[in-house]
Amino acid sequence: MPEGPEIRLAADRVENAVAHRKIEVIEFAFEHLQPFERRLLGSVVNRVDTRGKAMLTHFDNGWTIYSHNQLYGRWYTCARGKTPCTGRQLRLALHNDRHSAFLYSASDIDVIKTNRLQEHPFLARLGPDILSEKPSVEDIFQRLQSRNFRRRQLGALLLDQGFVAGLGNYLRAEILTLAQLHPLKRTVDCSPGQIEKLARLIIRITRRSYHTRGVVNPPSLVTRLKAAGLKKREQYRFNTYGRAGKECHYCGTDIELIMSGGRKMYFCPSCQPSS
């Protein structure tokens, strides 16, 4: 499933295509949403936000389209009059006089009054979004130490969208590696310095992934890996995620894989000791 940075990049594309111009045609595939076509026709998309893995397309008449890609949804944008070449099922199309945005395969779509978004059952459960709401290091530090989260194992906590919205498997793995924290460790087991470092990295790595389009390793490490002959993006993108049995780029120890709650967790046993 795409994580927060990928959804934010998709939102940027949609906003660039359809924002600030009147919607001339809007099409919903789901019958229960089709009455909203008349309400949104002729309105203007003000902006496109994200909340974790959900996208919010805000219109100037006080309505917002909520969409969640889940596993298979995907947004495409193109010039007006052109259609993406895909075998996916069209769920939503927005057209202005110049461009179009198409959402395929997603099944979780709704139209909500903008001033009532927090009543939506998914949005109401979410923690802060690193990319859209820009929480501070202190904000994340306090959440890590709060009663709700401090006794949770970090590997599970970082996937809890109620803690921070938008983190997923690859961000979790890379954040915990750079924080030098084992995924089964709890916040309550960490020193204040470790908690602050983790809070800082949650923000830094998420933003780095957004700005680099998914390259999570620090620039200095990427430079070193490229100089060593690892030129392909997938070779220098991650240190830990998806690299079980391969050497950690920092210490040379083989990356390990464990299962927790049915999810794969990758970590370096040397950089991230269990005690």
Domain residue spans in the chain?
4-125, 137-267
pLDDT value, residue 160: 96
The pLDDT value given to residue 134:
87
Q: Is 232 a catalytic residue?
A: no
Work out the number of other CB atoms within 10 angstroms of the CB of residue 253.
Answer: 13
Q: Is 22 a catalytic residue?
A: no
Residue 98's pLDDT is 97
CATH (residue range 137-267): 1.10.8.50
Task: Enumerate residue ranges in the chain where pLDDT < 70.
Answer: none
Q: Catalytic residue among 47, 98, 231, 263, which?
A: 263
Sign of CA dihedral 142, 143, 146, 151: negative
Tens digits of residue pLDDT in 119-131: 999 999 999 999 9
CATH topology classification for 4-125: N-terminal domain of MutM-like DNA repair proteins (3.20.190)
68: helix, coil or strand?
Answer: strand
Pairing assessment for the beta strands 54-59 and 45-51 based on DSSP bridges: antiparallel
Any residues with CB less than 8 A from the CB of 7 and at least 6 apart, and which?
50, 52, 53, 54, 55, 69, 166
Of the residues 3, 6, 15, 174, which is catalytic? 3
| pLDDT at residue 95, rounded to an integer | 98
Q: Is 2 a catalytic residue?
A: yes
Output the pLDDT for position 70. Answer: 87
Cα distances (Å, whole numbers) of residue 160 to 53, 128, 152: 12, 11, 10
Confirm whether 116 is a catalytic residue: no
- Indicate which residue of 5, 6, 8, 53 is catalytic: 53
